[in-house]
Amino acid sequence: MARELKKDQEALKHDVLARMKRIEGQVRGIQRMIDEGKECEDVLVQVRAVRSALRAATTQILRRYLLRCSEKAQTSCDPAAQYEKLMKLVSDFIDG
């Protein structure tokens, strides 16, 4: 079970890194569009795409955190503290 969690965590890590590299490329493309004086509407379409990509990456980051948190809670002397840490993270994330 622990081996599967590690494997899942590594897969999520690689997925997030790949997403971040794509997002980086998209942001550079937006910078180039602005520098070249492209239409605002076209720039905003690309900004919306980056926001969507960031949301998807955030979901994966939270998924990885939850996997790690559940693994720590199983081996922790204080699972309630792990739960509180998780709740604070989620609450802070939701609050923005």
Where are the strands (E) in 11-87, listed by range? none
Considering the domain 2-95, what is its CATH architecture?
Up-down Bundle (1.20)
pLDDT tens digits for range 3-49: 777 788 888 889 999 999 999 999 999 999 999 999 999 999 999 99
Distances (CA, A) of 66 to 13, 24, 45, 93: 13, 25, 32, 13
* CA separation for the pair 31, 88 (Å, rounded): 35
pTM to 2 decimal places: 0.75
The domain spans of the chain are: 2-95
CB atoms < 10 A from the CB of 73, how many?
16
pLDDT tens digits for range 74-94: 777 787 887 888 888 888 878
